[in-house]
Amino acid sequence: MTNQNLTRRAFLASAGIAATWAGLLPDIAWADPSASQLQAQLDQARADLNSMGDQLATLQNALSTTTEALEATRSQVTETQEKIDATSAELEQKRGVLSGRMRSAYKGGSETALDVILGSTSVEDLVSRVYYLDKVNESDANAIDEVRSLTEQLQ
């Protein structure tokens, strides 16, 4: 029973204190804003809105410019990758040809100038062999240069 009395006393004491405080607090009066105050708030809101509109336009222009630059860069990357792929394929083809020539020369033995001279049966045959040997050497040199050039382009 003592707990209930204590609880009732606490409640009544709290209610009394609250009632006393309610009587002591001043009433808060809300004044209606005047027409000039409302007009000033409206003008400020319009100015803020115009400023935000200008910022939005600036940001949209920047976004558009950046998007265009990004698309141009993507296009360049695609073109460059296509060139790299084509050059790589050409390089592999040229390396294959050069490798085949070198393999044949190694297996069959390359003709030296002395072999050409001593193996000739006539002057015409000698001229023909020298011409052929010169063309083969020129072709090999061109193939080596092409492989070197393509390798440099890829790097």
Domain range list for the chain: 50-155
Per-residue pLDDT band at 8 (split at 50, 70, 90): low
Quote the pTM value.
0.47
Give the residue, 130 or 52, on which the prediction is more confident: 52
Q: Does residue 68 have a pLDDT over 70? A: yes
Exposed (0-12), middle (13-18) or buried (19+): which is 101, by Cβ within 10 Å?
middle
Per-residue pLDDT band at 27 (split at 50, 70, 90): low
Calculate mean pLDDT across residues 52-79: 95
Give the residue, 56 or 96, on which the prediction is more confident: 56
The closest alpha carbon to 155, from 147, 37, 30, 141, belongs to 147
**Digit-coded pLDDT (tens) for 37-64:** 999 999 999 999 999 999 999 999 999 9
19, amino acid identity:
A
Structure tokens at 152: 């440099």
Q: Does residue 7 have a pLDDT over 90? A: no
Q: Does residue 90 have a pLDDT over 80? A: yes
Per-residue pLDDT band at 22 (split at 50, 70, 90): low
- Reported as type and span, the H/E element at residue 154 is helix 123-154
Structure tokens at 117: 């001279």
